[in-house]
Structure 1
């Protein structure tokens, strides 16, 4: 369980939080889905749902319908790759912001 999920935040939590914001933008939903019930917790974490979709190869089919088919495939791959790395427990602690900011700006001007 991440610091974000435990609500005990530290500097490294910023990386995870950034990933959550990216997923919120992509799905057009809040970080915690209260309308979707989970037997164990009574609510579903959007980041966990997104990671599951990513692993199953169904992420693009589950994003905001308004965005489906409108995102450049290379930009989508970069965007989701950054989000995935931010949300991964081990990788998030080692994430180098500069590298991903460069990647982000490189794709920023593409349509």
Structure 2
């Protein structure tokens, strides 16, 4: 089963969803702005991505710029911030078994 953290208002997220729908019938779509991941789920996603919380933050997002830019937080604090403000999470995130990617471009989609 492929899980996608999806924002239907995002063109790249819609493209990724269409791509996986063409290739797999067993898809779990998580509209993460409506159903935000918990801190525990975010930790698991970060482990699969092999990334730190700062790596999945949307740094052009107004909330980040106004409230968090140039501030120091631990990874645990960033995870809590992301769980509280899912708009800061980069998208789309695709997960299949023990592999995850942030599928922002076609090459990443094809490699997944």
Question: Structure 2 length as normaliser, TM-score?
Answer: 0.26
Q: Going by fraction, where is helix more abundant, 1 or 2?
A: 1
Question: Structure 1 length as normaliser, TM-score?
Answer: 0.27
Report which structure shows greater RCO (CA 8 Å, sep ≥6): 2
